[in-house]
A and B are shown apart, each in its own frame.
Chain A
Amino acid sequence: MIIKQLSVFLENRTGRLTELTAILAANDINISAFSIADTADYGILRMIVGRPDAAAEILRKAGFAVKITDVVGMIIPHRPGGLHKALQLISDNNVAIDYMYAFASGDCKATVVIRAESLQKLIDVLQEHKMELLQEGDVYQV
């Protein structure tokens, strides 16, 4: 239920992200989702990848500052109001969200990646309300 997210510190420099994706591509690592939090000087790249531990090791060897963070993937219906209903549930239960990003796929579903202060509380709330959660097998490469 808990998914490993790969976070990478990136300098705000033309081509830096391309250097990273080249490494992942060359090592057969799939990216399911990503987002970048940007500031004036640097960005924080957050990705859900097929082989997080291997990817972290490879990127570290290439000189990147890498961190693995636990996140939860929440699966919601890909239609108007789908996200709102889920967020209402989370805020009603007083779970504070640090950051989140989402990806929608063609099968009428969308996945929202959430980092919260208390992941276990978030999982409990979502499971209690029968929300579908992203499983490791859905994103990890075998």
Chain B
Amino acid sequence: MECHCQKGMHIFEDHFIPEIINPESGEVLPYGELGELVFTPATKEAMPLIRYRTRDLTRLHAEPCECGRTLVRMEKCVGRSDDMLIIRGVNVFPSQVESVLLEMSETRPHYLLVVDRENNLDTLEIRVEIEEQFFSDEVKELEGLRKRIKANIASTLGISATIRLVEPGTIERSMGKAQRVIDNRRRL
């Protein structure tokens, strides 16, 4: 649960042992590092679990909170480990792309990531729908928008991506979990 300081959720360590692991190797990571949250319930008797994998990606912080509680705190989840893509060795989450598009006033989070491999190098293309109210009939304006998206993506993800502007409504909407990624590398 979260205290009034809003510095993350306190985890009741009397009952649960939280740990952060590397979702690939399973190795336990130190406090403060980003990885997958796993829980081991300490008091549950009927159905014991050991390092139950939540698939949530977050960080744990051990320093006592300003509210005085000494329980470990978890940050807001940045994504799900099963959504994670590794592109050119960098961990990329679709949720990061979503947050970039949400922060920009000219874009809405309708996007599709297309990952491919060319000449043994991973490539990332991000298709972003154009918003009619921000559609300009001048190439320089649209190219300016494309470059701004590209720059924001590069600073958030740490890798560069090709940005392709597409017509509104052409990216599939789904009611449940949206299909946001096409990874063509798996076919190779």
Residues of A within 8 A of B (CB): 5, 7, 9-11, 37, 39, 41-42, 44, 46, 60, 63-67, 69, 98-99, 115
Contact = CB atoms under 8 A, between A and B. Distances in A.
Interface in B116-150: 130-132, 135-139, 142-143
Nearest to A11: B167
Q: Which 7 A-B pairs have the closest CB atoms?
A: A7-B137, A65-B132, A65-B135, A41-B164, A63-B169, A37-B139, A11-B167
Contact of B130 (A5, A9, A37, A115): A9
A98 B137 CA distance: 10
User: A37, A39, A65, A69 — which one has the most chain B CB atoms within 10 A of its CB?
Assistant: A65
B165 interface: yes
Interface of B: 130-132, 135-139, 142-143, 164-170
A8 to B, nearest CB: 8
Given A39-B143, A41-B164, A42-B165, A99 B138 contact: yes
Contact of A69 (B137, B142, B143, B166): B137
A65 B167 contact: yes
Contact of A44 (B142, B164, B168, B169): B142
Given A11-B170, A41-B165, A66 B139 contact: no
A63 B167 CA distance: 8
Main SS at interface, chain A: strand
A42 B165 CA distance: 7
B132 A67 contact: yes
Contacts of B135: 7, 9, 65-67
A41 B136 CA distance: 15
30 contacts: A9-B130, A9-B135, A9-B142, A10-B167, A37-B137, A39-B143, A41-B164, A41-B165, A42-B142, A42-B165, A42-B166, A44-B138, A44-B139, A46-B137, A63-B168, A63-B169, A63-B170, A65-B130, A65-B131, A65-B132, A65-B135, A66-B132, A66-B135, A67-B132, A67-B135, A67-B137, A69-B137, A98-B138, A99-B138, A115-B138
Given A39-B142, A44-B142, A67-B135, 12 more contacts: A9-B135, A9-B167, A11-B170, A37-B139, A41-B164, A44-B139, A60-B132, A63-B167, A65-B167, A65-B168, A69-B137, A98-B138
